[in-house]
Amino acid sequence: MSDSALHSVRQLHDQVDAQVRELERHHAQRLQCRSGCASCCIDDITVFEVEAERIRAALSKGAVELGAAHPEGACAFLDPADQTCRIYAQRPYVCRTQGLPLRWIDQHTESQIIEHRDICALNDAGRPITELDQAECWTLGPFEGKLASLQIIHRSELARISLRSLFEELSP
């Protein structure tokens, strides 16, 4: 993959991180997410190939050491010894927003629009997420669209790979 594609993915991740940090500061009292908490690090998460390329590039530069895969049931990139993410700096978009109050919109018909909200059970204490202002939640959709656009620009199709398959591909 080109340096341009990797740069585009890094820029997108930087934009996501900036907005995530604002929400993390706002919800500091409720968020229990910490290094070693792996409740959201489930198996079978898939990512676009452009994000997988960022992980591949980090490995080829020696920025990531794999070791043994985490047993099935949790993300293969979790270190089994301490439950920390071995690709934290290069982690995909989906991993960057976990734990935050999430909101998304489903439009079933022209007149039926439904807002959904969710949060990790570990972070559910405090004001109910249904009472939060929209700006207090991470809205799913906009960044997913940007990521899909990057995938099409740099890969021409919406191919995805599971993180476990990527780990197995990269393992010696």
pLDDT tens digit sequence for 46-96? 999 999 999 999 998 887 889 999 999 999 999 999 999 999 999 999 999
Residue 128 exposed, middle or buried by CB count within 10 Å (0-12, 13-18, 19+): exposed
Question: Could you give the C-alpha distances from 80 to 29, 72, 86, 160, in angstroms and in order?
Answer: 28, 11, 10, 25
Check residue 62 and give its pLDDT. 81
pLDDT beneath 70, residues of the chain: 1
Enter the pTM of the model. 0.91
What b/e readout covers 19-47, taking b as 16+ CB neighbours within 10 angstroms?
bbeebeeebeebbebeeebbebbeeebbb
Check residue 111 and give its pLDDT. 85
> Which residue carries 């890969």 as its tokens?
155
Estimate the crossing angle of helix 163-170 against helix 49-60, to 10 degrees. Answer: 30
Check residue 140 and give its pLDDT. 97
Q: Which residues contact 74 (CB under 8 A, 6 or more apart)?
A: 38, 41, 42, 43
